[in-house]
């Protein structure tokens, strides 16, 4: 303690006191800093060089109406609206495909990465490959940059290009676009409607052979065709609504429009099929037809319904096929990956500079620690406590 200083009062510490400690332990600071610099330099020389090759692609961003819009006009209000035919495909989908197990396994097998990475299990190879794969998503430009890091510059370029090739191969077999999903949906619907149409034709033919052909008046025939066509329109509209629900919310204006159209069609169908006598429709209601021809009428009505429904679905199926053929395209390769000339790892300058600053900071901490330790040991009271602790042990 300084003379005249009250008991328990801490001495004033100035910058000069810190400088004295640093000068006292300058050798320790210098040796730790220099040692860390030399060690980091040696480690940076021993680390393998890592190269990174990059390829750039432009995935399909938006589908246009194009030729499909010409077919849409044939459907009138029943076609999918052109604004919904083109759905923007997010780059996250394609990035996810490149990181899928299917694509990773193909790259592992193609470049024999089990041997390259010196691992026994495919899972370990996939993990290392994912670590080497560097994908950047250009949110504004829509361009995806695919980079692969490897010790061999040629192999890094080949692997980056292989990811592009495998992405194209996988996307050809998966319904990525909204048009592809619609095509698959309508394809399944067409199969079931075609089977129903065949059954209706056979049922009508069998009924006529069994009972004899029944001549249907023109007015009844018109009503049957109207009812059948309207029911087919309602069924096609319901199919369209199902497709729309896969990628649109209930608040979507097009969905609300379709629901309104369905309500109107069902009201009109109810008028045609009512059995009441106060039907305002100029045509005779289906419920007031002569009972004698009811069986034949029903068979004919089912046949006309399935014919109309098949025709409507077939048109939408063709639209989806045209859209799919146009949209499927086309993952465009902007820049093919080339073997890099410069390594990206290790960066020796950064390693040495980082080691120098880090070691210098910790060496200063070590100097103050050593100073406090020395003062603690040189204090007579603390020395007595240490001696007592040693003897007790």
66: alpha, beta or left? (left if phi > 0; alpha if psi -120 to 50): left
Interval 326-335: pLDDT, tens: 655 568 889 9
Which tens digits make up the pLDDT trace of 287-319? 444 443 556 666 766 777 777 777 877 887 787
Q: What DSSP assignment string belongs to 89-142? A: PPHHHHHHHHTSHHHHHHHHHHTTHHHHTT-SSHHHHHHHHHHHEEEEE-TTT-
pLDDT beyond 50 at 145: yes
Which is more confident, 197 or 86?
Answer: 197
Give the integer Cα–Cα distance in Å for 323 and 358. 60
Q: Is the pTM of this model over 0.85?
A: no
What are 288's two structure tokens?
């007031």
Instruction: Write out the two tokens for 128.
Output: 């290392």
Whether residue 346 is preceded by a cis peptide bond, meaning omega within 30 degrees of 0, is: yes
Residue 39 has pLDDT above 80, yes or no: yes
Opening angle at CA 333, ends 139 and 102, nearest 5: 85
Q: Which helix (H) or strand (E) holds 149?
A: strand 144-150
Q: Are 316 and 75 in contact (CB under 8 A)?
A: yes
For residues 224-246, one letter each, b for 16 or more C-beta atoms within 10 angstroms of the residue's C-beta and e for the rest, the string is bbbbbbbbbbbbbbebbbebbee
Q: Domains in the chain, start-ordered, CATH in brackets? A: 15-47+346-378 (no CATH), 51-177 (3.30.1890.10), 178-327 (no CATH)
Dihedral sign, Cα of residue 206, residue 212, residue 213, residue 214: negative
């Amino acid at each position: 303690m300084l003379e005249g200083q009250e008991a328990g009062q801490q001495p004033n510490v100035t910058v000069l006191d810190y400088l004295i400690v640093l000068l006292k332990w300058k050798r320790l600071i210098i040796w730790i800093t220099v040692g860390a610099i030399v060690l980091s330099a040696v480690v940076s020389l021993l680390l393998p060089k890592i190269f990174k090759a990059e390829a750039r692609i432009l995935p399909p961003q938006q589908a246009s109406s194009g030729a499909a819009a010409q077919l849409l006009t044939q459907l009138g209000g029943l076609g999918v609206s052109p604004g919904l035919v083109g759905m923007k495909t997010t780059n996250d989908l394609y990035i996810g495909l490149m990181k899928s197990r299917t694509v990773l396994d193909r790259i592992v097998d193609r470049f024999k990465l089990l041997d390259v990475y010196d691992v026994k299990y495919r899972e370990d190879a996939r993990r290392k490959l994912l670590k080497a794969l560097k994908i950047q998503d250009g949110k504004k430009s829509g361009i995806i940059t695919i980079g692969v890091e490897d010790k061999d510059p040629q192999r890094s370029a080949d692997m980056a290009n292989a990811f592009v090739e495998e992405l194209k191969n996988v996307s050809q077999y998966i319904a990525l676009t909204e048009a592809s999903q619609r095509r698959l949906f309508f394809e399944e619907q067409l199969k079931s409607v075609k089977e129903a149409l065949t059954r209706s034709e056979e049922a009508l033919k069998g009924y006529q052979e069994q009972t004899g052909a029944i001549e249907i008046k023109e007015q009844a025939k018109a009503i049957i065709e109207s009812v059948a066509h309207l029911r087919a329109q309602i069924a096609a509209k319901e199919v369209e609504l199902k497709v729309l629900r896969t990628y649109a919310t209930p608040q979507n204006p097009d969905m609300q429009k379709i629901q309104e159209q369905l309500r109107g069609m069902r009201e009109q169908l109810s008028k045609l099929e009512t059995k009441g006598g106060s039907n305002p429709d100029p045509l005779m209601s289906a419920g007031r037809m002569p009972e004698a021809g009811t069986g034949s009428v029903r068979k004919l009505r089912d046949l006309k319904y399935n014919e109309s429904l098949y025709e409507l679905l077939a048109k939408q199926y063709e639209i989806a096929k045209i859209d799919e053929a146009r949209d499927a395209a086309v993952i465009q390769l902007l820049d093919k990956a080339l073997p890099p000339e410069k390594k990206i790892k290790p960066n020796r300058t950064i390693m040495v500079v980082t080691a120098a600053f880090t070691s210098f900071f910790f060496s200063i901490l070590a100097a103050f620690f050593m100073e406090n330790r020395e003062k603690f040991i040189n204090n007579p009271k603390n020395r007595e406590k240490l001696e007592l602790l040693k003897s007790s042990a």
